[in-house]
Amino acid sequence: MGKYQKTKYPGIFKYVGSNGESYGIDYYAGGKKHREIIGSLLGEAQKKLSEKKNKKGPFLSMAVLKKKTFEDLAKEYEGKFKNDSYFQKTRKYYLATLKDHFGAMRLREIGTLELDTFKTQRKNTPTRYKRERSGIAVNRELETLSHMFNKAMEWGWMEVNPFTRFKESPFYKEENNRVRYLEEDESKRLFLTADIK
């Protein structure tokens, strides 16, 4: 069985097997990890890696991917959606909270434990009016975070969205218990329909 060895060139490895030495490339594309053996010349591997980088679609070498932080993702996300009306009305406010919590944490370090910790801390943090924070408010922040991770997968920055690793829903249960009273004309129509006198 052959042996893989690191080189000083990011995204390029050396494979030593029964047929001698070969060079290969490591990279992420389309949210998936890829490893290819190219040939016996380092230059061939470098050329192939360069071609992969210049292709359309998400691409990052594994060496670069391991260094990506939540701050990197937040910056890219904000840049992509800054002209989106929904982002301007809501998500940009949630993004500030998410950046405060996850900050310089590397994306590959964020798992279900970190998400649970954030969820609990936010629920236990009173609002600026010193009121209890609702589960619905926390859910909106979690939804934004999940959307960010989905985009990170599309861009080749993450292999999997950690939200998909929960066995049960990571969101707080939402119930619509709002009471609505009928207007006078609505009451009259209801009585007429029900033939109530």
Per residue in 138-154, pLDDT tens? 999 999 999 999 999 88
Q: Where are the alpha helices (DSSP H) in 33-134?
A: 42-54, 62-65, 70-81, 85-86, 92-102, 112-123
Domain total of the chain: 2
40 lies in a domain?
A: yes
154 lies in a domain?
A: yes
Query: Are residues 78 and 55 in contact, defined by beta-carbon separation less than 8 angstroms?
Result: no
Could you give the CA distance from residue 88 to residue 93 in angstroms, rounded to a whole number? 8
In terms of residue numbers, what domain contains 93?
70-165
Could you give the CA distance from residue 101 to residue 142 in angstroms, rounded to a whole number? 12
Q: Is the pTM above the cut of 0.75? A: no
Residue 36 DSSP SS3? strand
pLDDT at 197: 46
91 in the same domain as 50: no
Pairing of strands 12-17, 3-6: antiparallel
154 in the same domain as 83: yes
Give the model confidence (pLDDT) of 163-186 as tens digits: 999 999 999 998 765 555 556 665
